[in-house]
Amino acid sequence: MTEAFFVVVLVAYLIGTVLPLVFYSNNRINIPIAHAFALIASGAGIIASVLALTGATAVTVTIFPSPVFGATSLSLDGLSAFFLLTISLVSLAVSIYATPYMVKTAGKRSAAGFGALYNLFLLSLVMVVTVDNAFYFVVFWELMTLTSYFLVVFDYKKIQTARAGFQYLVMTHVGTAFILFSLIALSVHAGGFSFAGFKAAQASLPMGLKNAIFISALLGFSTKAGLVPLHVWLPRAHPAAPSHVSALMSGVMIKTGIYGLIRVLFDFLSPTPWWWGLLILILAMVSAILGVMYALMEHDIKRLLAFHSVENVGIIMMGVGLAVIFSSFGFVPAALLSLTAALFHLINHAIFKGLLFLGAGSIQYSTGTKNIEELGGLIKRMPTTAALFLIGSLAISAIPPFNGFASEWLTFQSILQANLIGDVSLQLIVLLAVPALALTGGLAATCFVKAFGITFLSLPRSERAANAKEVPVPMLVGMAILGLLCLALGVGSPVFIPIPWHVATSFFNGASEMPSFNPLLLRLPNSQGHASMSLLLVAALLAVVSLASVVLTGLRGKRSVTTGPTWDCGIPEVTPRMQYSAAAFTRPLKIVFSAIYQPRRQVEVESEASPYFPLSISYESSLYPVFERQLYRRFINTLVRMARRARMIQAGNINLYLAYIFATLVILLVFVWR
């Protein structure tokens, strides 16, 4: 059964890759076809992964055997099935959403190639998380990188898009080089490319090699995942792509980096030393805080969301880092709890970030702009989009009863397990994650009050926003699916959490007591006591109490609700220019954290006679992330300088090149002769 559905996934994506190209010149046919097959594949993917997660044994599908590199088989063990579920849930919603969006975005250009790449990209995602052979892992990884590159540069005529694409390509390939190193080292040691072989040989890995493999895997995979300081490509590349692709990239693709890291850490390199976990945890905290801080200052809605991906990857990685620390000390239940929190937040982030990017796509679809300073009042023009975007905003700000809160709650509970650690200084560093996570949550809420408030509420700030219209039904349906999932995974968390819990158990030896997840309450066995939380009750009570207060306050006789103008201090009329702008909204925090932001601003006032009556004022403010200046600029400058030096041997004279060849030949001959 499971195999059959899994094969459907692969075949449907393959057909979806080929068929749109057949109808190359007709967008009316190729766009729906591409997304219909992606939709079938995602549906089958959901079924296959749920079956695999509830079933007992792992499922394997062999595609083609190779005498050199071993058979290419795709297998659905717990972790793979969990990632397949994440991918399929998001791609299902995105594929429903994409058709009308692409029709408008493509315009007169043929979308056939794009549709084909879209399917190929999804196929490569599925294969990356299911393949069990290091060689093909790298092949599919490259396929994923390249297809996503072409999806990003769809709008290649824009200079920013082309540059963002280039930066993405360079960064991910540097990352791939590190991944390649760690996988090759593993396969040399294990004497084969199969993951099962890696697993069998892990006990005999020498410590030095193990550390080298870990460091390079961390560098490689966290480049893909967008962990600070390797995230610089992310806020540029994700917004450049068409929005539904951004939803897939931010929601799903960056998670393959986390998949790779979890696979390598817990499957190939265990037992792990504790300092690995500490390193991951510290990077994760920095990512979470810097990610949200830069998101706060961003007024391009898609760049804002991309920075939030950096933040959320940080939160996920906190769980991973904690799991490594706890497992290295042998605290299996605590490690299980942390990894469960990480996996749960991972799927939650995929869902709400998918929703928010689709929402941003809808905004762009009807207004033609991504700049929230030009928007406003959209809630009256696009009511459904607004409601769904609000759900996404609440979920990402970790507000109950939505899913983001449920997984952050679990992360808090995992941090609390730091009590177990004997070493006081380590325990203190781990506990620093508490204020880090809390600050992240608070700033994220601020950021989404801004993003939702400035975009959707009050008066439109431009013609475009004033003329916006609600998006077509398929786009709303795509968003509504994800919006419902945000609520369902929140109130239904006790039902869902056992799934990532079981996935996590496969990495740790020794059965562990399972927290009781009854459908109403989530109870965790802590070291000494327990914690309980029921989002279902909270949601139900919220509904009951608000309804009761509506009814009870409405009881007291007949009172009118009249509409009147907003209080304007006696100035004749409230105009959109009087409203708070996004820049004004975040200015207090910019001042508070100016040590981190190091903002630059330029104010020019032109006045004639008296400075109190200026003719014109121009204000310019810019932020250039400190680490980019300190880290990347220096690195790039050094690289360019070295390249200039290297140019000296490239004189362009053919005789010189012949001389080089001759010299090489002589050296080789001498070398061989000896």
Q: In the set 184, 449, 484, 487, which binds another protein (CB under 8 A)? A: 449
Q: In the set 457, 466, 484, 495, which binds another protein (CB under 8 A)? A: 457
Closer Cβ to another protein, 527 or 630, answer by number: 527
Closer Cβ to another protein, 185 or 431, answer by number: 431
What is the C-alpha separation between 476 and 267, in angstroms, rounded?
A: 40
What is the C-alpha separation between 472 and 362, in angstroms, rounded?
A: 9
- Measure the N-to-C terminal CA separation of the chain; round to a whole number of Å: 62
Fill in the DSSP letter of residue 131: B
Pick out residues in 537-556 that bind another protein (CB under 8 A): 537-538, 541-542, 545-546, 549-550, 553-554, 556
Q: Which residues pair with 75 in a beta bridge?
A: 60
Closer Cβ to another protein, 261 or 395, answer by number: 395
Q: Does 500 sit behind a cis peptide bond, omega within 30 degrees of 0 on the bond before it?
A: no
Stretch of 196-204, 472-480, 567-575, 660-668 lying at the interface with another protein (CB under 8 A): 567-575
Q: In the set 25, 57, 204, 562, which binds another protein (CB under 8 A)? A: 562
Nearest to 254 by CA among 177, 306, 328, 188: 306
Q: In the set 564, 570, 572, 611, which binds another protein (CB under 8 A)? A: 564
In angstroms, how far apart are the furthest CA atoms of the chain?
A: 107
Stretch of 65-73, 193-201, 361-369, 578-586 lying at the interface with another protein (CB under 8 A): 578-586
Residue span 392-431 as binding mask against another protein, x where in contact by CB under 8 A, dash where not: --x--xxxx----x---x--xx-xx-xx----x--xx--x
Closer Cβ to another protein, 513 or 606, answer by number: 513
CB 305 within 8 A of CB 350: no
Distances (CA, A) of 291 to 48, 305, 595: 34, 10, 16
Pick out residues in 120-179 that bind another protein (CB under 8 A): none
Q: In the set 25, 57, 204, 528, which binds another protein (CB under 8 A)? A: 528
Cα 151 from chain centroid (whole Å) = 16
What is the C-alpha separation between 473 and 485, in angstroms, rounded?
A: 18
In sequence order, what are the residues at sequence separation of 6 or more whose Cβ sits closer than 8 angstroms to the Cβ of residue 662? none
Q: In the set 11, 50, 439, 487, which binds another protein (CB under 8 A)? A: 439
Q: In the set 313, 339, 356, 533, which binds another protein (CB under 8 A)? A: 533
Closer Cβ to another protein, 361 or 453, answer by number: 453
Q: Is 567 in the site for another protein (CB under 8 A)?
A: yes
What is the C-alpha separation between 425 and 442, in angstroms, rounded?
A: 27
Stretch of 4-12, 49-57, 145-153, 432-440 lying at the interface with another protein (CB under 8 A): 432-440
Residue span 466-505 as binding mask against another protein, x where in contact by CB under 8 A, dash where not: ----------------------------------------
Stretch of 256-264, 341-349, 581-589, 632-640 lying at the interface with another protein (CB under 8 A): 581-589
Instruction: Compute the least distance from the CB of residue 120 to another protein, in Å.
Output: 40
Retrieve residue 294's tokens: 């830069």
Cα 164 from chain centroid (whole Å) = 17
Cα 460 from chain centroid (whole Å) = 30
AA identity, residue 12: A
Instruction: Compute the least distance from the CB of residue 231 to another protein, in Å.
Output: 22
Pick out residues in 320-379 that bind another protein (CB under 8 A): 377, 379
What is the C-alpha separation between 671 and 666, in angstroms, rounded?
A: 8
Nearest to 491 by CA among 513, 520, 468, 469: 520
Instruction: Compute the least distance from the CB of residue 281 to another protein, in Å.
Output: 16
Closer Cβ to another protein, 130 or 579, answer by number: 579
Instruction: Compute the least distance from the CB of residue 454 to another protein, in Å.
Output: 7
Q: Is 526 in the site for another protein (CB under 8 A)?
A: yes
Pick out residues in 585-604 that bind another protein (CB under 8 A): 585-589, 591-592
Closer Cβ to another protein, 221 or 452, answer by number: 452
Stretch of 13-21, 133-141, 391-399, 503-511 lying at the interface with another protein (CB under 8 A): 391-399
Retrieve residue 279's tokens: 């390193």
Instruction: Compute the least distance from the CB of residue 502 to another protein, in Å.
Output: 24
What is the C-alpha separation between 448 and 389, in angstroms, rounded?
A: 10
Closer Cβ to another protein, 528 or 610, answer by number: 528
Instruction: Compute the least distance from the CB of residue 355 to another protein, in Å.
Output: 17
Q: Is 389 in the site for another protein (CB under 8 A)?
A: no
Instruction: Compute the least distance from the CB of residue 531 to another protein, in Å.
Output: 4
Q: Is 565 in the site for another protein (CB under 8 A)?
A: yes
What is the C-alpha separation between 131 and 84, in angstroms, rounded?
A: 12
Q: In the set 211, 576, 596, 632, which binds another protein (CB under 8 A)? A: 576
CB 148 within 8 A of CB 121: yes
Pick out residues in 4-63 that bind another protein (CB under 8 A): none
Cα 410 from chain centroid (whole Å) = 19
Closer Cβ to another protein, 189 or 299, answer by number: 299
Query: In the Cβ-directed half-sphere of 523, how many Cα atoms lie within 13 Å?
Result: 9
Query: Residues in contact with another protein, total (CB under 8 A)?
Result: 88
Instruction: Compute the least distance from the CB of residue 516 to another protein, in Å.
Output: 13
AA identity, residue 661: I
CB 513 within 8 A of CB 63: no
Q: Is 380 in the site for another protein (CB under 8 A)?
A: yes
- Rounding to the nearest 10 degrees, give the CA dihedral for residues 174, 179, 182, 183: -140
Stretch of 27-35, 79-87, 533-541, 666-674 lying at the interface with another protein (CB under 8 A): 533-541
Angle at CA of residue 11, ends 10 and 16, nearest 5°: 100
Strand, coil or helix: what is 525?
Answer: strand
Nearest to 133 by CA among 80, 192, 76, 81: 192
Instruction: Compute the least distance from the CB of residue 581 to another protein, in Å.
Output: 8
Closer Cβ to another protein, 584 or 668, answer by number: 584
R_g (Cα) of the chain, nearest Å? 27
Closer Cβ to another protein, 132 or 408, answer by number: 408
Q: Is 264 in the site for another protein (CB under 8 A)?
A: no
Q: Is 532 in the site for another protein (CB under 8 A)?
A: yes
> How many CB atoms within 10 Å of residue 488?
15
Closer Cβ to another protein, 167 or 526, answer by number: 526
What is the C-alpha separation between 306 and 292, in angstroms, rounded?
A: 10
Q: In the set 578, 642, 651, 668, which binds another protein (CB under 8 A)? A: 578
Q: Is 114 in the site for another protein (CB under 8 A)?
A: no
Q: In the set 330, 368, 435, 519, which binds another protein (CB under 8 A)? A: 435
What is the C-alpha separation between 423 and 430, in angstroms, rounded?
A: 11
Say if residue 147 is exposed, middle or buried (CB neighbours under 10 Å; 0-12, 13-18, 19+): buried
